[in-house]
Amino acid sequence: MLPAGCGGRLAAALAAALGDGAERRRELERQAARGRALLGRWDAEDEERQKSDSSSSNGQESRPSPKELEELELLSRALAKALKVRKSIQKTSVEAQGVREGEKAANEGPAPKNAQVQQVPVSSEGVPVTTKVKAVSRKPTSSKKPSSYLLTAPYRTDPDVKKAHRKAPARCMSQAPRTAGKSSSKAVASKQARRHRLTISASNQEVCAAAESQKTDGLSKCGLLEQQSVSLGDSAGGKNLVAAGRQLFDTGKEGCGSLGGSSKKEDHTTEDALGRNSSPQADTLQEKGSRLKFPLPYRKAYSRNSRAWENCRLCQSSADAAAARNRFIERIQTTFCSPMPAFSPAEIEEEVKVLQNVPSLLSQCVEAEHADHPTLQREYESLLTLEGLQTIASQCLHKLQLLREAAESQMRLCPECTGDAGSCCSDSVPPWGQACGSTGVLAEPLLCYTSFQELRDLFALKMQVSMLNQEIAIQKTCREKERKPTTSGSLQVSCTSFCLVLLLFPLLKHALRNATIMCIPLSALLVRAVYGRLCAVLMHRVLRVH
């Protein structure tokens, strides 16, 4: 068991750290969700919203349930298989065969054959399918046709669908014009349909082209794909996929083309296809990112705002104003209690913050110089370096001393001091994070990165630094008794660190001791020490040679 106070403090510190981390995670997840939403399909969300509007009016819409998504998954796998099959039988003329097979299989219920049978009458209706098929391979521009193939919810929830699977395609056709009227997202759906057809065309170009040259078989298969693409092309991604899926599933679907599984996958393939085909109806950030513009009112406000910032940044006080201001400041500062300490608490804190890093830097340099030096010149260089470091160290110590004095007199002046040094004003003043200079303050600070790797490293390093800070704080909690960190506390720490640094200088320690005892100027002593060491080294070399 740990001593009671320490254990409790540690536990509290760890718990607080966990709480901070949880908050950070929440914030990150929120931001990631925003980013993901922007990188996905923009109008998918619009349709979702429109759908939810229309659903509130006709109350037909609902989300695909997990079961439906499962069926969707199965459908897509089946479609993938079908595509493989199709590719392997491109050249064969199987029109009659197909019909026969279809009739045979009608009882068994394999989907493509079945649908094929149904497709025959459909294609005999002729125009819609044919034009669509042609359109597939030629990148269609018309947008009217697809809407006639919209499958909307009423179709899906219609209990007759499951039973009359044979008639399903025809029903689909006949229903479509009705439902097309109902749907409010026709145009969008048609866009999607077109896109899907483009997808198909991109990936199944050969197939469809071959299909054209074929008779019923190719036509039917393509038509089937078409139908499925259209059904997929409906809005509210997945719902009517489900409808088609269920229908085909019920008819024992095999071999259907691959048209992606979940709507997300759909998006990616769509994106890729679009990337290749550069459709003007791009709805992802990737496609239209470089063409985006602010809405007009915002654009105006933004340009006015940035102009105002720029003017403020560049404007300066006139000389007269500066003179009048200085006169006021002088006068008011004459009324300050005298003698004022040399540093204000804000300045003390700033200086100490800078000085806190110095001991570790100095000790690093000193350690570097401890290594053995092969040549005389190197030895001399090292000694000179040590001398320079010593100068810096003593300057910093002097500064620290001044700061300490100023801090003490500031504490005396402190208005709320009740005698408990270090626990009053520094507590009630929240941190003051001063930016650089007053003119610099008005410029928008930018952090530029040049590659994804850099950004990643930046985030990772920031996180590691935060983590290390936290670890150190926790370690210190183990160590501390009841001490509260204050300005003077950090001053003490800095002083101790400096003393430690000095102890690492064997030369300096020696020199300092002698200086205090004999009151000889430090530099002279150091020179003597250096000279002495040089002589020693020379002697050593001479002896070694001999």
Partner 1 sequence: MRRARGRALPGAVAALCRALPPRARPAPDTLRRARFDRPQASSHCWRLLCSLLKQVHGGKWTEPDAIDIQIRFIKSVLWYHGYGRPELYRLPSDGSAGSRELLLAFSWLLHRISLLEQLLARNRVRTGDETSVCTCEDDLTNSQKGRTEIAPEYSLEDKVDVRYLQWLHGRLRFQWRSLHALHQEQSKLLHKIHLFTSGSHMDKILGHFSVTETELIRQPENYKQLLQFLESETMQLEAFLEWKQLEQVYWHWMVKTREEELQKEEFCAAARKTQEAVELKLLDLTYHCAPKKPKMHGSCRLVFRSKHSASKTGFGRSVSKEPISTVSATEVIRELQMRKASLERELKQLQEECRQRMDEIAEGLDGVICISP
Instruction: Tell me how far, at minimum, the Cβ of 214 lies from partner 1, in Å.
Output: 41
Would you give the DSSP letter of residue 284?
B
The DSSP secondary-structure symbol of 2 reads: -
State which residue, 447 or 519, has the beta carbon closest to partner 1. Answer: 447
Q: Which is nearer to partner 1, 18 or 96 (CB)?
A: 18
Q: Which amino acid is at 49?
A: R
Residue 196's contacts (CB-CB under 8 Å, 6 or more residues apart) are 229, 230, 232, 233, 259, 270
Q: Where are the alpha helices (DSSP H) in 335-434?
A: 345-369, 376-413, 425-428
Q: Rounded to whole angstroms, how far apart are CA atoms 133 and 229? A: 11
Min dist CB 414 to partner 1, Å, is: 6
Q: Which two tokens stand for residue 7?
A: 């254990």
Of 53 and 480, the one with the shorter C-beta distance to partner 1 is 480
Looking at the Cβ atoms of 280 and 295, the one nearer to partner 1 is 295
What is residue 126's three-state secondary structure?
coil
* Phi then psi dihedrals of residue 41, to 5 deg: -75, 130
271: helix, strand or coil = helix
d(Cα 418, Cα 428) in Å, to the nearest integer?
Answer: 13
Phi, psi of 518 (to 5 degrees): -100, 0
Cα 247 to chain centroid distance, Å, stands at 41
Is 71 in contact with 242 (CB distance < 8 Å)?
yes
Contact (CB, 8 A) for 263 and 89: no
Cβ proximity to partner 1: between 6 and 527 the closer is 6
Q: Which is nearer to partner 1, 328 or 531 (CB)?
A: 328
Give ∠ CA 352-354-355 in degrees, rounded to 5. Answer: 60
Q: How many CB atoms lie within 10 A of CB 470?
A: 16
With left for phi above 0 and alpha for psi between -120 and 50, is residue 274 left, alpha or beta?
alpha
Q: Can you spell out the DSSP letters for 100-150?
A: HHHHHHHHH--HHHHHHHHHHHHHHH-HHHHHHHHHHHT-----SGGGGG-
Least Å distance, CB 3 to partner 1, is 9
> Do residues 227 and 183 touch, judged by C-beta distance below 8 A?
no
Q: Which is nearer to partner 1, 8 or 121 (CB)?
A: 8
What secondary structure letter does DSSP report for 430? -
Q: Tell me how far, at minimum, the Cβ of 380 lies from partner 1, in Å.
A: 29
Nearer to partner 1, 322 or 539 (CB): 322
Burial class for 364, CB neighbours closer than 10 Å (0-12, 13-18, 19+): exposed
Nearer to partner 1 (CB atom), residue 10 or residue 80? 10
Structure tokens at 136: 């597939």
Nearer of residues 177 and 440 to partner 1, judged by Cβ = 440
